[in-house]
Chains A and B, each alone.
Chain A
Amino acid sequence: MSQRPKVICVTGGKGGTGKTLVAVNLAIMFKNDGYKVLLIDGDVENPNTYLLLGGSLENKTEVPFFIPKIIEDKCTKCGLCAQNCAPHALLHIPDAFPIPILAVCSGCKLCYKICPEEAIEADSKVIGWTYSTRVNDLSLFIGELKPTEARSATIVEDLLEDLDDIIEKEPDKFDIVVLDTAPGAHCDVEHLIKKADFVIPVTEPTKFGKLDLIRIIDLILLLKKDYRAIVNRSSLLGFRDEFLKELKEKKITVLGDIPLDDEIVNSYCQGIPLMEKNSDFDKNGAGYVAFKKLFANLKEWIQLNSDKNTGGK
């Protein structure tokens, strides 16, 4: 029986909690164990996975986005397009051609579809790029929003379509897919969580961390997914035990925690993942040991060795 890959989404609500650190090192540990791994960087506003992996951006593909092009020869200036444009992305002044306001266009193409004169053509502009590369024996897909563009969700959708394609045509190509998300709880993050079988929100032991964790868990549950949280920088100022206790009281399930460790900072600044098996990092270091333990817990949770996951609630 061919099995589709298990999809794990690393997210977090708050920024800078260590989402990318966790996503990259989980992917590396799966690879170390011989699994075929695809890492997808869905933080398209600020993709950083390749920096942590010491990789580069390759196989660039443009992501186009609809723009309405008014064909003045055909346009009768009737204004129907502007009347029906929900985000008011077409300005119609009587007896003038409609003026597209691209910054607010949602790309719904309604104007193009309803123009009785076929005076609107579906043109496009580039709003970002996707990349695919292989680094450290991992396959890596990256999405990048072009700075000054707003429609980040379109880039995320593009990445996820590529994933759907692979799962449909070559379900055996990967055993594990790891998704890295942006901070926040907006549509980009939603799209990625929706695609996952298992969700890992990463937090830190601060009041901000806790508040944002609760919010992202609300979103995860709204999307009917199962989750386990990771507490990063857990040794910060001795907050660990109290923080874990608070999470327990809120009935938040925790996969494990990662203490502060200079080796983590070093690995990150050198672009060599901490858990890369050929690296020189201290295999008895606090960060290394913590990741090993997390990984064991994760494998147990997602039941990697059995045929079918029963992860959902």
Chain B
Amino acid sequence: MERKLIGVISGKGGVGKTSLVASLASIANMDPEINSIVLDCDVDAPNLSLILPPEPEYQIKTQETFTTLKATFLEDKCINCKQCIDDHFCEFNALSWDEDNQIPILDYLACEGCGACKVLCPEHAFEVNPVKSGEIISYKTQIGLMLVYGITKLGSTTSGKLVSDCKMFAKGLEEFSESNLIIIDGPPGIGCPVIATVSGLDYIITICEPTPSGLHDVMRAIEVVREFKIPFGIIINKSDLKSPFQDKFKKFIDDTGYDILGRIPFDLSIPKAMSFAEPVVDHAPDSRASLAIKDIYNNLKKILWDHQEN
């Protein structure tokens, strides 16, 4: 079977991305046709490793990434000309002026590492160097498949880049060549890390809940996915949530004509499974939520491999 890369995004956070990915991974892991690798690209708040812990005694690999650039100020070269401030070298407000010492102050967190100060300073009083931007962690999970996840170093500013690095890293794994399904747990939002997550994928699952912000945010995520021309399907989580918004939600979704990949009913077995840090399909295999997720998995397989029609 041809290798497929799929991602789960939602726009809004906390609507069930990670719970879903953990369960899909567990089902895929039991499927004799499938050889799967899981990635957690929510590099600001990676949580998947809590549900998919490493196999005991497996050597966890940690690779530091140095893709972030940051400027440093070299005081001994500075001639206090203040040109860096007067000519507005920095577009990111990372340079301000220290009146007492007549030197620039560099705000490390605000610096984007663009190197404008380095290039523009006539005295070469700035340097730009790579700094640690995060870590990529990989291991064989207890259930058997490989997990790769990234975690940003706080204040390093480059979540999107780390997402791309994680995907590259996974492609370099020995297990990748034998794999036929790569499942990516995406970040919330629609910005840089989400764009980095979805680019180059074969299929996207957009998950939402039937609430005003759930709908609003998933539609924004779908706009991004459509721009990239990637096929996608919607999953409605907590689909039977008692809410005065249900009718409006249903009408809106129906009117778009977008594919519905599945519906997961509101089921306390999901938070229960999470409290045991287990995928719900393992913790409560016969629960309504688990049955719904199994249906979703089967649908997904059909969409990915049976026939390619839209």
Identify the A interface with B (CB < 8 A).
13-17, 20, 45-46, 48, 51-52, 66, 84, 86-87, 103, 106-110, 113-114, 145, 147-152, 157, 182-188, 190, 194, 204, 206-208, 211-212, 215, 218-219, 222-223, 236-237, 239, 262, 265-266, 268-271
Q: Which residues of A contact B93 (CB under 8 A)?
A: 157
Q: Which residues of B contact A17 (CB under 8 A)?
A: 13-14
Q: Is A222 a contact partner of B192 (Cβ separation < 8 A)?
A: no
* 19 further contact pairs, Cβ within 8 A, besides A108-B116, A207-B47, A265-B243: A15-B10, A15-B15, A46-B12, A48-B213, A86-B115, A108-B91, A110-B114, A113-B116, A157-B93, A182-B188, A183-B14, A183-B45, A186-B159, A186-B193, A208-B47, A236-B271, A265-B211, A265-B242, A266-B243
Asked whether B78 is an interface residue with its Cβ less than 8 Å from the other chain, the reply is no
Q: Which residues of B contact A45 (CB under 8 A)?
A: 11, 188-191, 194, 220
Q: Which residues of B contact A271 (CB under 8 A)?
A: 212
In the complex, number of A-B residue pairs with CB atoms less than 8 Å apart: 184
Q: Are A207 and B275 CB-contacts (below 8 A) given A148-B223, A183-B188, A186-B152? A: yes
Q: Which residues of A contact B27 (CB under 8 A)?
A: none
Whole-angstrom distance from the CB of B15 to the nearest CB of chain A? 6
- 1/0 per residue, CB under 8 A from A, across B246-280: the answer is 00000000000000000000001001101101000
Whole-angstrom distance from the CB of B258 to the nearest CB of chain A? 15
Q: Is A14 a contact partner of B152 (Cβ separation < 8 A)?
A: no
Q: Is A215 a contact partner of B154 (Cβ separation < 8 A)?
A: yes
Contact residue among A113, A152, A183, A219 (Cβ-Cβ distance under 8 Å from B192): A152
Contact residue among B47, B154, B224 (Cβ-Cβ distance under 8 Å from A185): B154
In the A-B complex, the 8 residue pairs with the smallest Cβ-Cβ separation, listed nearest first, are A15-B13, A16-B14, A108-B114, A184-B44, A147-B223, A45-B189, A15-B188, A150-B192
Q: Is A184 a contact partner of B155 (Cβ separation < 8 A)?
A: no
Q: Which residues of A contact B274 (CB under 8 A)?
A: 206-208
Q: Is B15 a contact partner of A114 (Cβ separation < 8 A)?
A: no
Of the A-B pairs whose beta carbons lie under 8 Å apart in the complex, a sample of 13, sorted by A's number, is A17-B14, A46-B11, A52-B213, A106-B112, A110-B116, A147-B190, A147-B220, A148-B195, A186-B157, A190-B157, A206-B275, A207-B50, A211-B47
Instruction: Pick the most buried of B11, B69, B212: most chain A CB atoms within 10 A of its CB.
Output: B212
Q: Is A266 a contact partner of B244 (Cβ separation < 8 A)?
A: yes
Identify the B interface with A (CB < 8 A).
10-15, 18, 42, 44-45, 47, 50, 69, 89-93, 109, 112-116, 119-120, 128, 152, 154-155, 157, 159-160, 187-195, 211-213, 216-217, 220-221, 223-224, 227, 241-245, 268, 271-272, 274-275, 277
Query: Cα distance A230–B290 when bound, in Å?
Result: 31
Contact residue among B18, B191, B227, B268 (Cβ-Cβ distance under 8 Å from A237): B268
Q: Which residues of B contact A147 (CB under 8 A)?
A: 190, 220-221, 223-224, 227
Q: Which residues of A contact B241 (CB under 8 A)?
A: 265
